[in-house]
Structure formats: C-alpha cells, structure tokens
Structure 1
Amino acid sequence: MGRGKVELKRIENPTNRQVTFSKRRDGLLKKAIELSILCDAEVALLVFSPSGKAYNFSSHDMDRTIRRYRNENGQHKMNSQGVRTIEVWKNEMDEMKKTIDTLEAKHKHLAGEDLSTLGMKELKQLERQLRIGVDRVRSKKALAPFVGAHKFIEEKCES
C-alpha cells in the first residue's frame, strides 16, 4: 500500500512539523547507514533541527570525512592564474602534520616510550607486533652465518 504524494511546503503546525522532522530524520539516518554498509561508502550526515539542535552520523570519523571533503573540493579551487589556493595547501599541510604525529607516536610506542596513552587492547597489539619483529630479527641472525658462507663459496667458485 503506497503513500500519496506529499505537497512539499512548510508544515505550519509546529507539533506536526516536529513529528515530521523526527520521522524523516530517522529515515534519512537509516538510509545513510544502509548506504555505508551496502556500498562500503564513507558517509557523513549533519542535520540541524528547526530549534537548532545538531544531529550527526558518520560511518568513519566525522572530522576526517569533513577534512577529506574539504580537500577534495579544494583540489579544484584555483585562483585566476590556475594556482591552487592557500587554503588547499594549508589543508594538505595539516593532514601531513597529523600523519607525522601519528607515525611519531607509533615510533615511540615501538621504542617502549609514552605507553601511558595506550589501553590494554593497544598494549597487547603492540606486544604482538614486537614479538613478531623480534622473531624476524632472530631468524635473520640465525641465517647470517649461512648466508655469509654461501657468498664466500660463490666468490671462490667465480674466481
């Protein structure tokens, strides 16, 4: 049983308007979640109610999605000479700084520094990564004499 077509005009009754807003907001949120899951899309949704209350949904990190949107739009922003705008360069620089900060934090963690910021799950994951790394180093060390002997034999055979 289908619904009739609704005339798109402002609902005058404030109570009816609020009820419609709530129902449609929930429907829009459901569609955003479905789009995110079904299509593996990065979705961000911002809705402000008539009273000014903000509602949001993000399938990933909202700030990251907004930065990505700004960068994507900024890629096409050019001044009259066809040069990328300062805003685009600034956004790109901010992203790079965040990446550097993240990598520096990971480096510190691998060195056993600044571990107080990590929870138990992250500590266990770090321990697992370090254990794998130590095993690789030990394997390489164990093979080193054989590799050296193999190279020595190859050199003697060639001469």
Structure 2
Amino acid sequence: MARGKIQMKRIENTTSRQATFSKRRNGLMKKAYELSVLCDAEIAVIIFSQRGRLYEFSSSTNMQKTIERYRQHATEDVAKKANMEQYMLHLQHEAVDMARQIELLELSKRKFLGQGLGSCSVDDLQEISGELERSLSTIRAKKDQLFKEQIERLKAKEVLLSEENSRLHEKCGETEKPRQSPLLAQPKEAGICSLSSQSSDVETELFIGLPQMHF
C-alpha cells in the first residue's frame, strides 16, 4: 500500500510524536552515514530532543574538529558578506560621482554650443571663448599635419610612378627593333628611279639609217 502524505505540522499526541522522532532520527543518522561513505563527505549531525537529550553523528573521529571547521567557514562567509556590502556601497558612491560628472559635462557641452549662456558672467564667457580658441588652434594644427602627410604620400607615389614609367620605356626600347619610316624611305627610292630612268635614256638612244660620213 502507498504511504499517505503526512501533513507537516506539530504532532499533538506525545506518544506518536516521540515514536516519530525516534524513527526519523535513526533514518537521518543512517542517511548521513551513507552520504559520508558514498560521497566521501565530512558530515556532522547534532540533534537535541524536546527533553534536551543530545544525539550526534560525525563522519570524522573528532566532532569538535568539524565544528571548528564550520565556525571558520561561517566567519569567512560573514567577512565576505561584509566586504561585499562595503564594495556595493563603494560602487554606489562611484555611480553618484559619475552621474554628477556627466551632468557637468553636459552643461559644458551646451555652453560650448552657445546654449544656456543666460546664467554666465563675463568671466565665464571669456573662459568659454578662450577654450574655443584653443580647441580651434588644435584642430587647425591637426588639419595642417594631415594635409602635409597626404602631400608627402602623393609625392612619394608620384616618384614611384615616374620610376615605373621609366622602366617600362626602357623595357619597350630593348624588346622592339627600330623600324625605318616608309616616308623616310620614299625619297631614296624616288632618287633611284630617276637615276635609272636617266641611264636608260642614255643607253637606249638609237639611230636609224646609214651612218653619216664625215670628210
């Protein structure tokens, strides 16, 4: 038969309460012993009955040693808790300081943008003006530096491209043989033709008839 669910409240009947105590106590001691053997754990159980009688179990040979170990850990836990609370308090103070600094920075930012200047005195406005001038000087100096660096990079790139262009010209001059232009060759051919025509006129001159006799 299945065991009925027991309602967790004080047993009013003294005899039943004592019997339940003895049964549960023995079961608790047995479970503590099994846990210490199976898991190699250091276990100590202390039970005081309603009449003040002491029942105890310790997996080690010395119950006092286990109690001292527990006290040490309890003290360390209390110290850790105190340190944690102190650390949390420190973080809260830091958060408040950070919020105050952020508020001051936002106020300064609005003033630099020309907003909320109604409450500023002449000295405050003079200080803001000086800060803006210094900021502009720093920005201009940085801009000039970047321009100079960019110009230097472009000059270096120009030199590299010029050297590469020279190498390509030299390479093309070595691989291709020079060719004479047809326009330059044409006058020579024309001259040769004219000479040949003149020579042909001289050599092909003929006379038909009897040779003349000279006396």
- TM-score normalised over the length of structure 2: 0.36
Greater RCO (Cα-Cα under 8 Å, separation 6 or more): 1
